[in-house]
Amino acid sequence: MDPFKIIVLLVIVFLLFVIVRSFRIVPQAHVFVIERLGSFHAEWDTGLHILVPFIDRIAGKVSLKEKVVDFKPQPVITKDNVTMQIDTVVFYQVTDAKQYIYGVERPLAAIENLSATTLRNIIGEMELDATLTSRDVINSKITAILDMATDRWGIKVNRVELKNILPPREIQDAMEKQMKAERERREKILQAEGDKKSQILVAEGEKESQILRAQAKKESQILEAEAQKQAMILKADAVREQKILEATGESKAIEMVQQALAESIVKLNQANPNERVIQLKSLESFAKAADGKATKIIIPSEIQGLAGLAMGLKSIVEKDTVPAKGSSSETNFHDYQAN
């Protein structure tokens, strides 16, 4: 084969290769930093770009995505002279590709060293207990300091987290003993508070029970008094009703007696009695009056003659018949009246 043809073929292949390599595609969330003849020329964003052969070159390919860097544990000393191992996690993002390429030689090493020195400064002003309980404060301080320091490098530090805080073994043992003692103290406090509340509840229960018993006794006495009062009222009402009924009965009896007497008088008047009958009725009334408890009896003049007649009849009867032993003139007189 002709050497000239070979050379021409190689040149053509080389030119094709150069032309193909001149077309560059920038991916999403990336920036290409272009140098022309050794100096900064442009920043290529996402899309198709043409690179001038032998004049332009890509100085750096920068990703704009947020990155996470986990740094190794760093020895730090607290204010009370306790050495601890603390490792940090840094979340950062490139915001300026040009500053990121030309601002610092090794950005990750710079961020690691800066975070270590910043962490030592912050922890050196705090004691052990404050260090273990103030992670949020430490994270905020480191984030603010790193963000300010890396701004001229085109880097934005979004967040810094303390991943682990490892105190010395003897400190861990002491902390565990302290934690155990604190838990035991809390347990005793809780148990004492529980006993106290239990005793209070028992006392309150007894108090309420006594109050309820007293109230029940009071209500029982009130009900008993009310019952006695009602019984007395009912008894008084019964007595009053009985007296009213008795009085009503007596009134009706007197009324009936008077009515019977009036009827007898009416019948007597209708019979038109003679003088002797009237005198005899008067004598009967006198005999009833004599049966009373009066010590003195005044005899009306109208019945004196009739009384003399009765005495004469009595003497005649005594002569004719001998009276039985134990009898009296009063009995004969009543027998005479009955005849």
Per-residue confidence at 282, pLDDT binned at 50, 70, 90? Answer: low
Please indicate, yes or no, if residue 74 is contained in any of the structural domains: yes
Please indicate, yes or no, if residue 104 is contained in any of the structural domains: yes
Please indicate, yes or no, if residue 130 is contained in any of the structural domains: yes
Specify the CATH number for the domain of residue 104.
Answer: 3.30.479.30
Please indicate, yes or no, if residue 229 is contained in any of the structural domains: yes
The string of pLDDT tens digits covering residues 131-143 is: 888 888 889 999 9
Per-residue confidence at 258, pLDDT binned at 50, 70, 90? Answer: confident
Tokens of 97: 């590709």
Please indicate, yes or no, if residue 182 is contained in any of the structural domains: no
What residue spans of 272-300 are helical by DSSP H? 275-290
Tokens of 82: 């306790």
Shared domain check, 284 and 268: no
Please indicate, yes or no, if residue 172 is contained in any of the structural domains: no
Dihedral of alpha carbons 191, 193, 198, 199, sign: positive
What burial class does residue 31 get, using C-beta atoms within 10 Å of its C-beta: 0-12 exposed, 13-18 middle, 19+ buried? Answer: buried
Shared domain check, 307 and 232: no
Shared domain check, 127 and 100: yes
Domain limits at 202? 190-272
Shared domain check, 223 and 132: no
Query: Out of 36-45, 92-101, 316-325, which region has the weakest mean confidence (pLDDT)?
Result: 316-325
**How many structural domains compose the chain?**
4
Phi, psi torsion values for 84, nearest 5 degrees: -130, 160
Per-residue confidence at 294, pLDDT binned at 50, 70, 90? Answer: low
89-109 burial: b if 16+ Cβ within 10 Å, else e: bbebebebbbbbbebbeebee
- End residue of a domain, out of 236, 251, 272: 272
- End residue of a domain, out of 63, 89, 111: 63
Shared domain check, 163 and 71: yes
The string of pLDDT tens digits covering residues 67-85 is: 999 988 888 888 888 888 8
Give the containing element (helix H, strand E) for 266.
helix 169-271
Shared domain check, 146 and 162: yes
Please indicate, yes or no, if residue 177 is contained in any of the structural domains: no
Shared domain check, 144 and 78: yes
Please indicate, yes or no, if residue 225 is contained in any of the structural domains: yes
Per-residue confidence at 313, pLDDT binned at 50, 70, 90? Answer: very low
Shared domain check, 59 and 72: no
Q: Which of 59, 61, 62 is nearest to 94 (CA)?
A: 62
